[in-house]
């Protein structure tokens, strides 16, 4: 098990819902640890705003998925100052944390991906949980909707053949782009009753010649219509889904079509597989909120400006963790 440190902060009698924050990514396009970049007036990080919104929404436990490389800095910079507000656990996402019988190939450097991050938390999750990226700003209202789902509809957990009841925050594609390069987005297919029917992971989405498009495996550009719903890796899951990750991961690792040196094991792979098996349903929680994130260094200033406006509009205090102390 990859547990680094458990039991920091206040223990609540009700250990759900839990928020899993994936923070182990290297940030190759950014060129550094984008999780640690300050964007608020009191040196707050994007992850600080997510934690703040999550606590206000009703989450009472956080599991950080981090890498050993940033463990000490992460705990000192992020974990310690929220430990008195919410129960905190840490898990290292190690390349060698694999199902029995598998070992990482020589030369594998990158983490295995977002689905592997959740797989690494398998011994810590016992109730409904949400999953988010550490470096994405999602918006307070979305945390409220996901937490509400986890506290209600999600409670009808799978058993005796019932489906796993999940949710996903659905953003409009045009609200999730950067002007500074390409991004990865999960392009969704949705039924008339607002359920996810399929998701395609597109790893090269950008604004091009006045349109939004992504590059397929043949290097062709395929247009994505404005208004298309995409996933920003904000999911809500019942505890029962955790048991689905190991068999899915085994299938991924055994596939002859997977380049085990580079290919990542994404959350949409697991969700899409469960949808096709009829094992899960996913309610799409649509939002008009604008996503903010730091994919490239040039993204930092626009994010800082957006947060400054939100502070002026009264959505956040100037000093996030101590509103009584005036920021310099």
Q: Supply the pLDDT for residue 3.
A: 38
Percent of the chain clearing pLDDT 90 (strictly above): 62
pLDDT of the residue at 328? 37
- pTM of the full structure: 0.88
Instruction: Categorize the per-residue pLDDT at 81 as very low, low, confident or very high, splitting at 50, 70 and 90.
Output: confident
Residue 32 has pLDDT above 60, yes or no: no
Contact 303, 39 (CB under 8 A): yes
**Residue 308 scores a pLDDT above 70:** yes
β-sheet bridge partners, residue 129 = 18, 237
Residue 218 has pLDDT above 80, yes or no: no
When comparing pLDDT for 181 and 229, which is higher?
Answer: 229
Look at residue 7 and tell me if it is in a domain: yes
Q: How many domains are contained in the chain?
A: 1
Is position 88 within any domain? yes
Domain, as residue range, for 121: 3-312
Residue 166 — φ and ψ, nearest 5°?
-120, 170
328, part of any domain: no
Q: 322 lies in a domain? A: no
The residue with greater pLDDT, 276 or 78, is 276
* 36 pLDDT above the threshold of 70: yes
Q: What is the C-alpha to C-alpha distance for residues 321 and 328, in angstroms, rounded to an integer?
A: 14
Neighbouring-strand partners of residue 183: 205
Strand partners, 63: 20, 89
Are residues 94 and 68 in contact, defined by beta-carbon separation less than 8 angstroms?
A: yes
Of the given ranges (21-30, 136-145, 170-179), which has the lowest mean pLDDT? 21-30
**Closest C-alpha to 63, from 1, 109, 107, 112:** 1
- pLDDT for residue 8 is more than 80: no
* Domain-located, residue 207: yes
For residue 30, pLDDT over 60 is answered with no
Please report which confidence band the pLDDT of residue 200 belongs to, taking 50, 70 and 90 as the band edges.
confident
Q: pLDDT tier at 24 (50, 70, 90 boundaries)? A: confident
Residues 6+ apart with CB under 8 A from 269: 115, 201, 248, 252
Q: What does the pLDDT look like over 230-281, one tens digit per residue?
A: 999 999 999 999 999 999 999 999 999 999 999 999 998 999 999 999 999 9
Question: Is residue 46 in a domain?
Answer: yes
Q: Quote the mean pLDDT of the chain.
A: 86
Q: What is the DSSP letter of 75?
A: I
- Whether 170 is in a domain gets the answer yes
The CA distance from 166 to 317, in Å, is 32
User: Which CATH number does the domain housing residue 37 bear?
Assistant: 3.90.550.10
Asked if the structure places residue 233 within a domain, the reply is: yes
């Amino acid at each position: 098990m990859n547990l680094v440190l458990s039991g920091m902060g206040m223990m609540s009698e009700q250990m759900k819902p839990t928020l899993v924050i994936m923070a182990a990514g290297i940030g190759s396009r950014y060129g550094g640890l984008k999780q640690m970049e300050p964007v608020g007036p009191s040196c707050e990080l994007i992850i600080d705003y997510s934690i703040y919104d999550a606590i206000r929404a009703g989450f009472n436990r956080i599991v950080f998925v981090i890498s050993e490389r940033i463990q000490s800095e992460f705990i000192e910079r992020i974990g310690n100052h929220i430990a008195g507000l919410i129960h905190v656990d840490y898990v290292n996402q190690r390349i060698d944390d694999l199902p029995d019988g598998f070992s990482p190939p020589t030369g594998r450097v990158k983490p295995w991906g977002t689905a592997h991050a959740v797989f690494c938390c398998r011994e810590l999750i016992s109730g409904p949980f949400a999953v988010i990226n550490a470096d994405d700003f999602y918006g307070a209202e979305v945390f409220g909707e996901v937490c509400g789902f986890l506290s209600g509809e999600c409670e009808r957990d799978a058993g005796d053949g019932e489906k796993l009841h999940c949710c996903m925050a659905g953003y409009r594609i045009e609200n999730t782009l950067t002007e500074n390069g390409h991004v990865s987005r999960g392009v969704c297919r949705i039924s008339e009753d607002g359920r996810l029917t399929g998701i395609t992971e597109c790893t090269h989405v950008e604004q091009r010649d006045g349109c939004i498009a992504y590059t397929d495996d043949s290097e062709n550009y395929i247009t994505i219509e404005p208004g298309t719903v995409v996933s920003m890796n904000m999911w809500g899951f019942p505890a029962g889904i955790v048991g689905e990750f190991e068999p899915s991961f085994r299938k991924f690792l055994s596939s002859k079509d997977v380049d085990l040196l580079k290919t990542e094991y994404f959350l949409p792979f697991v969700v899409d597989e469960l949808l096709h098996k009829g094992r899960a349903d996913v309610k799409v929680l649509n939002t008009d909120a604008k996503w903010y994130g730091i994919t490239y260094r040039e993204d930092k200033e626009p994010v800082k400006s957006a947060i400054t406006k939100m502070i002026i509009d009264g959505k956040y205090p100037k000093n996030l963790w101590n509103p009584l102390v005036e920021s310099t």
